[in-house]
Amino acid sequence: MSAKPLTSYTCKLSEDQGKLLHRHLLDQGWDFREVAYSQFAGSRGKVNLVFYESGKLVVQGKETAEFVEFVLEPLILKQAKVGYEELLNPEILAPRLGIDESGKGDFFGPLCVAGVYVNAQVIEMWKEHGVRDSKAISSDRKILDLADIILETPGCVTSVVAMGNESYNRLYEKFKSVNRLLAWGHARVIENLLGQRSKMNPLPVRAISDQFATDKATVSKALMELGRDLELVQRHKAEEDIAVAAASILARAEFVSRLNQMSKTWGMVLPKGASATVDSAAKTFISTHGARNLPMVSKMHFRTALRAQGLPEPAKTEWRKPTKPKKDEV
């Protein structure tokens, strides 16, 4: 399977790099145009670019690869990455697990945690499909289409754990913490994936997930028997890793599918997120189906549940970053 030609490229430029690029484009006779919030924008041949006030440069067009490789990288960025990603960072192709969740911030609907095993062959197959963090994809249809591609990719191994609202509320009462509940979900998915090790070639060297808890030990302590033998990497913006991005897509696809089915079952739209629209829908649900059924479609520890039932909300506590004790206090 041949890689899809590069037709879009984005990077950050410093102020000096932006000025250098502008001078080069002027010298080369580029055609300039006005674009909102940009420092300059131009086109030449089959390539267009916009350099925004934020320092973000966006290059598009059929000749994007040529412009990046022969102008932007050698003259402006002073580096060569396009076409050499694997050489510069061999870890890109390392066999690994990616874990992510969807539904954590949604009042209605389940919490879904997904995991994906990838190797070099799987990653190569995904290059032309635009597998990326689900939060960067606004269309539910696109999410579902990409989920099908991921599930059908030879060599890819997946697992999805979906906690319906009744189960979620029961588990929340047990763990008393969203982070501990999430840690259990991540650990369960890792264990499910490693239970399919016979399908993995080569075996994964690590599992990567977003760092959602201040204390990384929250997840590592939750790991089960098989997961304890794997290196666990937790980092912010983990969705930049393609394995985590694929997991985020599967988790979102499961969440969207289940929420849509719940809306049909209860005969009303159950909106995503947590907002005034969601508050209104929660009150409508109670007036139609009764407060006793609210736990079947929602996460009851959200303040939305109290507001919808006309119950008082507890005072909000200000979050403060934990401080380490001084040596003489230990």
pLDDT, residue 169, reads: 98
Options 3.40.50.1260, 3.30.420.10, 3.40.50.150, 3.30.360.10; CATH for 90-257 is 3.30.420.10
DSSP state of 38: E
Question: Would you kindly state where each structural domain of the chain is located, as residue ranges?
Answer: 8-83, 90-257
pLDDT tens digit sequence for 272-310: 999 999 999 999 999 999 999 999 999 999 999 999 999
Specify the pTM.
0.72
Options 1.10.4190.10, 3.30.365.10, 3.40.50.1820, 3.30.310.10; CATH for 8-83 is 3.30.310.10
The residues facing 101 across adjacent strands are: 113
pLDDT, residue 81, reads: 55
pLDDT tens digit sequence for 244-255: 999 999 999 999
pLDDT tens digit sequence for 209-228: 988 888 888 888 999 998 99
CA distance 327 to 330: 6
Q: Are the CB atoms for 311 and 300 separated by under 8 Å?
A: no
Q: What is the largest CA-CA distance in the chain?
A: 71
CA distance 209 to 97: 9
